[in-house]
Chains A and B, each alone.
Chain A
């Protein structure tokens, strides 16, 4: 029996649900493994984790935004032979990582505790005395972090949340591990090895030319035609394959949750290149610089859109403060 931990950090628990969702295959895990730590499934605390002497494979999910989450992540690393970053938050920082665009804890506190709708503007402090007892809280960080920016990770399973096929592949790794078999090389990303567009079977015109952008709600999308050809921003060109075009099948454009494709470091700037190449590609001279500017200024939030899941692992991964 090998020992497995499933550890939620700054998580919405969607990753837990994705794991539970594999249904009967879950029984296969039970054949080879004992789940020694899964706070979402059983009421477990930090002391329980501390008491475990070792773990074979840990799946850690959720972003890191507090001192407690960092402490638990480091403890898990110390006790585990194999650490798997499970889900987009763990791999890249995820949606909660967008906090890096307003990286001042004080701003968050002010909004939460001093806005007009709040009666009493008392900020929680890391240590407070209540009824003669000392109450401690973890420190809230300014920034969100991916797991590998704080500890070494062995494997990555991107996805918000990951899909069944990835979880099954991961199960294969666990089986190999339990038999002392060969494991994938460190750093392996358990997902596809191409860009999402390569596994998308929507009709792609030979030349895609965007004339103007539409937000998904502004237009009923043709379910058979590439979103980009319809002027709807789809992150396909800058996203790793492996999800089975989950959103696209539901007639929604890809938002990029699998992170950058192999060989690309920075998903946002890759998408910026892709989208600007396509815009009015056959009318550049006709529109001229001013005409192009007008079209492109419609992209009002390139950072939030193109780095939706990966800001904490981008080349520049937070808002800096030039001249302020």
Chain B
């Protein structure tokens, strides 16, 4: 039997909104696939684009960033807008280096949106599953 591809997802979740949303999803026993490695950050603005590239390089098939709603929910004034702006240029950069930008997803999830978190995650995992494994750099390639 052919093994189904189970994508690995790294999720950077801001402490104040998305992480609490994910927590709520867990507490409310909403199911989302267990493929996600959550990493709590204080603000989505803390997600250095280097982290995203590292994650892809190390074999993450998808990278999720969850933050507080724009315009004004971010606890550090404009971390969410900063992240939003980075994401736009990141998408173009990923396209140029041959990684499908759909592997990078940014969503605003508030602390009360447990259901939204579970749904968005489900949908993202399904999309990445369709895309297949992330392409890897080969060691020793000339």
Give chain B residues whose Cβ lies under 8 Å from the Cβ of A293.
88
Docked complex: B84-117 residues within 8 A CB-CB of A: 84-86, 88-90, 92-93, 96-100, 103
Q: Residues of A contacting B72 with CB < 8 Å?
A: 285
The answer to whether A316 and B86 touch across the interface, beta carbons within 8 angstroms, is no
Residue count of chain B within 8 Å CB distance of chain A: 36
In whole angstroms, what is the CA distance A320 to B131 when docked? 14
Determine whether A170 belongs to the interface, using a CB cutoff of 8 Å to chain B: no
Q: Residue B39 at the A interface, CB < 8 A?
A: no
Asked if A299 and B89 sit within 8 Å, CB to CB, the answer is: yes
Q: Is B35 an interface position by the 8 A CB rule?
A: no
Q: Which of B88, B92, B134 contacts A322 (CB 8 A)?
A: B134
> Please, how many angstroms separate the alpha-carbon atoms of A139 and B134 in the complex?
29
Kindly name the residue among B57, B81, B90, B92 whose own CB sees the greatest number of chain A CB atoms within 10 A. Answer: B81
Contacts of A141 in B (CB 8 A): 142
**A302 to B89, Cβ gap below 8 A?**
yes
B85 touches A276 (CB 8 A): yes
Segment at the A interface, from B3-11, B12-20, B45-53? B45-53
- A171 CB–B CB distance under 8 Å: no
Known pairs A266-B53, A279-B85; A272 contacts B135 (CB<8 A): no
Expressed in whole angstroms, the Cα–Cα distance for A297 and B86 within the complex equals 11
Give the residue of A279, A285, A315 whose beta carbon is less than 8 angstroms from that of B71. Answer: A285
Within 8 Å by CB of B96, from A273, A277, A281, A303, lies A303
Q: Closest residue of chain B to A318, judged by CB?
A: B137
A268–B85 touching, CB < 8 Å:
no
Which chain A residues lie closer than 8 Å to B54 at the CB level?
315
Per the bound structure, the CA–CA distance linking A288 and B78 in Å amounts to 12
Closest to B48 in A: A273
Please tell me if the beta carbons of A300 and B141 are within 8 angstroms of each other in the complex. no
Number of A-B contacts (CB under 8 A): 115
A296→B99 contact, CB < 8 A:
no
Q: A269-B48, A272-B90, A302-B92 are in contact. Are A319 and B85 (CB under 8 A)?
A: no
- Asked whether A143 lies within 8 Å of B53 as measured between CB atoms, the reply is no
| Complex Cα spacing A85 to B66, Å | 42
A205 within 8 A of B: no
Q: Which of B24-41 contact A (CB under 8 A)?
A: none
Whether A269 pairs with B134 at a CB distance below 8 angstroms is: no
Partner of A316 from the list B78, B85, B99, B141 (CB cut-off 8 Å) is B99
Taking a contact as CB atoms closer than 8 A, the residue among B78, B86, B89, B141 that contacts A142 in the complex is B141
Of A277, A300, A319, A320, chain B has the most CB atoms within 10 Å of the CB of A320
Kindly provide the distance from the CB of A172 to the nearest chain B CB, expressed in whole angstroms: 34
Name the A residues within 8 Å of B78 (CB-CB): 281, 284
Interface status of B75 (Cβ within 8 A of chain A): no
With A269-B48, A302-B93 known as contacts, the answer to whether A323 contacts B137 (CB < 8 A) is no
Which of A269, A289, A322 is the one whose CB lies under 8 Å from B100?
A: A322
Tell me the bound Cα distance from A293 to B71 in angstroms: 14
How far apart are A6's CB and chain B's nearest CB, in angstroms?
25
Known: A285-B71, A289-B70. A296 touches B85 (CB 8 A): yes
Shortest beta-carbon distance from A318 to chain B in Å:
7
Taken residue by residue from 123 to 157, chain A's Cβ proximity to chain B (1 for < 8 Å, 0 otherwise) reads as: 00000000000000001011101000000000000
Is A36 interfacial (CB 8 A cutoff)?
no
User: Taking the complex as formed, is A317 at the interface, i.e. its CB lies under 8 A from any CB of chain B?
Assistant: yes
- Are B96's CB and A319's CB within 8 A? yes
Q: Is A29 an interface residue (CB 8 A)?
A: no
Q: What CA separation (Å) do A134 and B33 show in the bound complex?
A: 61
A101 at interface, CB cutoff 8 A: yes
- If the complex has contacts A284-B81, A318-B137, are A297 and B50 also in contact, measured as CB distance less than 8 A? no
Q: Are A319 and B98 closer than 8 Å at their CB atoms?
A: yes
Determine whether A265 belongs to the interface, using a CB cutoff of 8 Å to chain B.
yes
* Chain B residue with Cβ nearest A264: B50
Chain A residues with CB under 8 Å of chain B are 67, 70, 101, 139, 141-143, 145, 265-266, 268-270, 272-273, 275-277, 279, 281, 284-285, 288-289, 292-293, 296-297, 299-304, 306, 314-324
User: What are 27 A-B interface contacts by the 8 Å CB criterion?
Assistant: A101-B96, A141-B142, A142-B141, A266-B50, A266-B53, A268-B93, A270-B50, A272-B90, A273-B49, A273-B86, A285-B72, A288-B71, A289-B84, A292-B81, A292-B88, A296-B85, A303-B93, A303-B97, A306-B93, A314-B53, A316-B53, A316-B99, A316-B137, A319-B98, A321-B98, A321-B135, A322-B99
